[in-house]
Amino acid sequence: MTGFEIGIFSIFAILILIYSGLYVPVALGLVSFVSVWLLRGSLEAPIYLVTLAASNSLEDYIFGVIPLFVLMGLLVSQCELGRDIYEVANHLLKKLKGGLGVATVAANAAFAAITGVSIASAAVFTRVSVPEMIRFGYKPRFAVGVVAGSSVLGMLIPPSVMLIIYALITEQSVADLFTAGIMPGILLSLCYAVAIISMATFFPEYVGGQDEASKLAQEKYSNLTTSDLINKTTPILVLILLVLGGIYGGFFTPTEAGAVGAIGALLVAIIKRKLNRKAFWSVLVETGHIAASILMLIVAATMYSRMLALSGLPSDLGEWISQADIGLYGILTIYVLILILMGTILDTTSIILIMVPLFLPVMEPYGISLVWFGIITIVGAEIGLLTPPLGIACYVIKTTLSDDDRITLFDIFAGAFPFAIIMLLVLILLIVFPSISLFLV
Amino acid sequence: SGNAKATEIIPLTVIDAYAPTALWVRVFMNYYLPEVDRRLAEKGNYEIDWNRAFGGTVAKTGGVLEALQYGLADIGIITSPYHPDKIPFFNISYVTPLVTKDIGLAARTVDELIQRYPQISNQAVEDYNQVFLTTAGVIDTYQVFMNQSIDSLDQFRGTKICGVGLNLRYVQGLGAAGVPAGLGDYYNNISTGLTEGTLAWAESAVAYKLYEVAPYMIDIGLGAVTSKIISMNKKSFDRVPEEVRTVLQEVATDYRDELANETDRRAERSRHEFEEFGGTIITLSDEQRVEWANSLPNMAKEWATDLEERGLPGNQILRDYMDIMRSEGQPIVRNWDQE
Amino acid sequence: MTSIINYFTKLVTGLNTIGTTWIFFLMILINIDVLSRYLFNFPIQGVTEIVELSIVGIVFLQISDAVRSGRLTRSDGVYKQILKRWPKFGYFLGIIFDLAGTLFFVSILLGAIPRFIEAYERNYFAGNEGLFVIPVWPIRLILVIGSIVVALQFIILAFKNFKLFISSKGTT
Ligand code: NA
Ligand code: NA
């Protein structure tokens, strides 16, 4: 078997194993093991491939950022800062058509600036805004759809664990990728808002809550005093300043920003009396579980990408594509289709870790900005958060709603569908106009 | 070619943690690989099917040595300062600052010492399962780049200066704090005030636009540093035919000299460019160089002692290195072996 | 058997506790470094090296508990359908998957043991002499221990699936 054949074979093997339910890191690791065994002809090579990936490849200062940002994200959720942002957004936006929906998007966008993980956003806003929307007559399916759709902002607007992972594997600057995520995040939020207002105007039955009685009830609700507004926004602004200001002001490296942000969130939680010792411990344990599973995924993906490099497949693939002469947009079309397809069954981290090493060498000859490519990758892979059968954002919402039988998993996927379509449209805009992502960088 | 003689094809995987944007990788791709191909093609017996895995696709910085050790790849470029615990011998030019600015001479001398002391190669084979083909370097001389003008060495006191590995010790004696950072972070660190300066060399200063944030090149000329080793997995080395082995080794030596020439050409040009782009070169006086040299700990002695503990004649090697530098008439500021 | 599993679970959660505490101290250490750099103009030597080595330690202390709690990433949409329609085959598949997990961590272990011995015997360190030096063998030992424990944890999961396999009614 040639390296090319082994490479191709390994991809199919990995996909079949993952689809049938084998643990993703185990599938990546074992297939890489067998492939390198075949490629190098000795058992020593694959054994050290996996061992070195599990140790050497993790020995990098920047990896410290993952547990720290996860910890910060979980502490921020614990502080109920999500509720505070939502109340402020409601106060400001409730007069709009579909106002509570728009407020959910706005609150998610603001919350995204202090959390790096989308699942945190999904969990927080399921608890905070779904009950409120339903109380004011919004249809449950629409309510959960808005929450699912806007939760993806968590990993697009900086800080973002996904952008950090992409920066790690492509050796791009974390700060540049963070900057590049800002405008696409705002653009996606605006598109969501416009879509919600349009839906409320043209399909009030689908959205719900648009009749006079509901409107009146909303008017009376959530009137905040100026001091309420200040109290509810200050901690968030402080944390944004600390983390993003720290990185852009050059006071901290991203890893340090994670540590400082985590301490900041801890202090806010203590001041707001939202954290006893037991709750703090469970936050730490949860951080450990999330960080360990993300980092183990990175370890396994490192094995797989090193195996690919040894097989020579990416460079062969690059030659093949350049001979096929389908051009940059042709390749990007294929790339996005694969991202969406993989998104049906895989989580965002796995998609990025599997696809980027394969396509990076293919994209390089075109001299494109790898920062822009990163934004495309993340938006494309995040569509998968909303699509069945495996859509993590929808799963988190269902889990969080466990006591509520009125909303089925199908409702959540159906409600999220319009938002997945909007994501795809925004993704096309981002591909056609790279400057949306890059003009701040 | 149209001759009927069968050409045996030998697959070899070459790796580096750095991408072809780095000078030594570029010269490796554009000189070493084609030159090996050319010389083998002349004889027509063998042809190498190179699998190029640069840019950290198989091993990241500091990981090349082990990837070669365990046979993940056949040939690789090791960055020696990452391994003071494994191959400290190769830090010889790091621990003897202010001795030479001739990178070609430094690299040739290190290779000469490897010839003289076969224990070094033997340890590489025994402990790390690999054969060193050559040493090489791209740093003509370390300089300090600062965001403010410096007239006296006292002004370094209390500043923060970034660097990597052993070179952080160069500023210790001046009362500056060394901040470890990678080459790619220097610009950001200085522009944001995390540090006031950095240790770098002219070519990297231009490549990373350091003149924008640290426009004062304090021309101290800390010296040339060899930091690269072209190395080959021992089993792969034994596996390839004698003829191929010889070519791989000969071209490696030529690569070393080619890279040194390219480094010198770029260094000269980079100094001009640094000034053209608005930088200022502040050349220190001989007295200041002596003052700097005397501020340094004798890292060379510590290094020699460490080697002795590992069963290598460290003091003898150090003396040989300095003797060669003296006989070549290098501008030595401090005789590290004679203290 | 149950009591062995209980003791083992205590070990797994114990390792997780160490890893969890480690994350907390990492956060504190980095903050002290940042403060010291800005307040006293004095960066603490060795923080970079400590953070670099810590990540491997944290992951391998916590991975067993993550596996035990079912947190290791998988795509179980199809698998759940299989369990629903053909439970016996599903549990059989579950045994295979868990043993594959054992195999994977054993393959890491096979390289981790000699690398630990090598680092211990030859005194490998991270950092630079004269600045900051830290031995690497303790981290490599954690890698060995973590791999053994997680491999055993997978065997326990396989055993649980095996019991379900035995007790469930066979379907074609
Ligand atoms: Na975010
Ligand atoms: Na999906």
Q: What is the mean pLDDT of residues B95-118?
A: 96
Q: Does B189 sit within 8 Å of A56, measured CB to CB?
A: no
Dump the DSSP string for A10-27: HHHHHHHHHHTT--HHHH
Mean pLDDT of the B204-209 span: 88
Peptide bond into B97 cis (omega under 30): no
**Residues in chain C with pLDDT values less than 70:** 170-172
Hey, CA dihedral for B240, B246, B252, B255, is it positive or negative?
negative
Q: What residues in C contact B166, CB-CB < 8 Å?
A: 128, 130-131
Closest CA to B14 of B230, B228, B226: B230
Which of B18, B83, B93, B89 lies closest to B53 in space, CA to CA?
B18
Across the range B101-111, mean pLDDT stands at: 96
pLDDT band at B216 (very low <50, low <70, confident <90, very high): very high
Cβ atoms < 10 Å from Cβ of B282: 15
For residue A243, give the ligand nearest its CA: 1
Average pLDDT over residues B115-139: 95
Question: Are the beta carbons of C65 and A284 closer than 8 angstroms?
Answer: no
Closest CA to B170 of B145, B206, B202: B145
Q: Please report the pLDDT score of residue C129 as a whole number.
A: 82
Q: Which ligand is nearest to the CA of A239?
A: 1
**H or E stretch including A333?**
helix A327-343
Task: For chain A, list the contacting chains (3+ Cβ pairs, <8 Å).
Answer: B, C
Q: According to the model, what pLDDT value does residue C87 have?
A: 93
State the CB neighbour count (10 A cutoff) for residue A41: 9
Q: What is the pLDDT of residue A404?
A: 67
Quick check: A253 and A129 in contact, CB under 8 A? no
Question: CA A111 → CA A68, A84, A85, distances in Å?
Answer: 17, 10, 7
Ranges of each domain in chain C? 2-167
Burial of B169 (0-12, 13-18, 19+ CB in 10 A): buried
Q: Name which residue leads in pLDDT, B73 or A159.
A: B73
Please count the structural domains in chain A.
1
Q: Residues of B with CB below 8 A from A56's CB?
A: 59-60, 62-63, 66
Q: Do B70 and A52 touch (CB under 8 A)?
A: yes
* Selection from B103, B107, B164, B117 nearest residue B304 by Cα: B117
Residue of chain A minimizing CA distance to C112: A51
Is the Cβ pair C129, B86 closer than 8 Å? no
Indicate which of C21, C30, C33, C144 best probes the interface with A, i.e. most A CBs within 10 Å of its own CB: C30
Q: Of B51, B60, B191, which is closest to A312 when you measure between CB atoms?
A: B51
Q: Which of residues 46-65 of B touch A (CB under 8 A)?
A: 51-53, 55-60, 62-63
Rounded Cα distance, A405 and A181, in Å? 36
Q: Which residue has the tokens 């301490």?
A: A263
Quick check: A34 contacting B, CB < 8 Å?
A: no
Q: Alpha-carbon distance A116 to A385, whole Å?
A: 15
Instruction: Determine the Cα–Cα distance for residues A168 and A305; give it in Å rounded to an integer.
Output: 13
Give burial (CB, 10 Å; 0-12/13-18/19+) of A129. Answer: buried
Mean pLDDT of chain B: 93
Contact criterion met (CB < 8 Å) for B59 and A52: yes
State both tokens at A270.
């203590």
Q: What is the pLDDT of residue B1?
A: 45
Q: How far apart are CA A417 and CA A141, in angstroms?
A: 11
What Rg, from alpha-carbon coordinates, does chain A have? 22
pLDDT at C172: 43
Provide, as residue numbers in chain B, all residues whose Cβ is less than 8 Å from the Cβ of C55. Answer: none
Reduced to 3 states (helix: H, G, I; strand: E, B; else coil), residue B5 is coil
Indicate the DSSP class of residue A80: T
Per-residue pLDDT tens over the stretch B265-316: 999 999 999 999 999 999 999 999 999 999 999 999 999 999 999 999 999 9
Is this prediction's ipTM beyond 0.95? no
- Across chain B, where does the E strand assignment appear? 8-15, 46-53, 75-79, 130-136, 143-146, 160-163, 177-180, 197-200, 216-219, 228-233, 280-283
Alpha helices in A20-98 (DSSP H): 24-40, 44-54, 65-78, 81-93
CB atoms C72 and A293 under 8 Å: yes
Q: Considering CB atoms only, which of A24, A64, A287 is closest to C73?
A: A24
The answer to whether A436 touches A183, Cβ cutoff 8 Å, is yes
Half-sphere exposure of C9 (CA within 13 A, CB side): 10
Residue type, B81: P
Look up the domain containing A129 and give its range. Answer: 3-438
* pLDDT of amino acid A245: 86
Q: What pLDDT is stored for residue B92 in this prediction? A: 96
The three-state DSSP-derived secondary structure of chain B is: CCCCCCCEEEEEEEECCCCCCCHHHHHHHHHHHHHHHHHHHHHCCEEEEEEEECCCCCCCCCCHHHHHHCCCCCEEEEEHHHCCCCCHHHHCCCCCCCCCCCHHHHHHHHHHHHHHCHHHHHHHHHHHCEEEEEEECCECCCEEEECCCCCCHHHHCCCEEEECHHHHHHCHHHCCEEEECCHHHHHHHHHCCCCCEEEECHHHHHHCCHHHCCCEEEECCCCCECCEEEEEEHHHHHHCCHHHHHHHHHHHHHHHHHHHHHHHHHHHHHHHHHHHCCCEEEECCHHHHHHHHHHCCCHHHHHHHHHHHCCCCHHHHHHHHHHHHHHCCCCCCCCCCCC
**Could you tell me the pLDDT band of residue B4, with boundaries at 50, 70 and 90?**
low
**Test mutation, A58, A176, A306, A359, chain B, max B CBs within 10 A:** A306
Do B61 and B79 meet the contact criterion of CB atoms below 8 Å apart?
yes
Could you tell me which of B320, B310, B319 has the C-alpha nearest to residue B124? B310
Residue of B nearest to A44 (CA): B70
CB A35, CB A7: distance < 8 Å? yes
**CA of A420 relative to ligand 1 center, distance in Å:** 19
B183 has a pLDDT exceeding 90: no
CB pairs under 8 A between A and C: 187
Output the average pLDDT for chain C. 91
Contact at 8 Å (CB) between A180 and A371?
Answer: yes
The pLDDT value recorded for residue A159 is 86
How does pLDDT run across A295-344, given as a tens digit for each residue? 888 888 889 888 988 998 877 777 787 788 788 899 999 999 989 988 87
- Structure confidence at residue B3 (pLDDT): 52
Q: How many angstroms separate the alpha carbon of residue A344 from the centre of ligand 2?
A: 3
Count of C-beta atoms within a 10 Å radius of residue A286: 18
Can you tell me the distance from the alpha carbon of B200 to that of B167, in angstroms, rounded to the nearest whole number?
Answer: 10
**C22 Cβ contact list (under 8 Å, min separation 6):** C54, C57, C58, C61
State the nearest Cα–Cα gap between B310 and chain C, in angstroms.
10
Return the minimum-mean-pLDDT range out of A63-72, A342-351, B57-66, B201-210. Answer: A342-351
The confidence score (pLDDT) of residue A103 equals 92
pLDDT at B120 over 50: yes
Q: How many CA atoms lie within 13 A of B270 on its CB side?
A: 23
Q: Which residues, including other chains, have CB under 8 Å from residue A425's CB and lie 6 or more apart?
A: A191
8-state DSSP, B96: S
Q: Are A206 and A139 in contact (CB under 8 A)?
A: yes
Note down pLDDT in tens along chain A; length 441 residues. Answer: 888 899 889 988 988 998 888 998 999 999 999 999 999 989 999 999 999 999 887 888 878 888 888 888 888 888 888 888 888 888 888 788 888 899 999 999 988 888 777 777 887 888 888 888 888 889 999 999 999 999 999 889 988 888 988 887 787 888 889 999 999 999 999 999 999 999 999 999 999 888 888 877 777 776 788 898 898 889 989 988 888 888 777 788 888 888 999 999 999 999 988 888 999 999 999 889 888 888 888 888 889 888 988 998 877 777 787 788 788 899 999 999 989 988 877 778 878 877 887 788 888 888 899 999 999 999 999 998 898 767 778 877 887 776 667 788 788 999 999 999 999 999 999 999 999 999 888
Ligand at minimal distance from the CA of A119 is: 1
- Predicted local distance difference test score (pLDDT) of residue B140: 92
Cis peptide before B180 (omega within 30 of 0): no
Q: How far is A251 from chain B (nearest CA, A)?
A: 6
The token duo for A57 is 């490849």
Place of tokens 């919600």: A196
Closest CA–CA distance from residue A45 to any residue of chain B (Å): 5
Residues from chain A contacting residue C100 (CB–CB below 8 Å): 22-23, 26, 30
A172: tokens are 């791009």
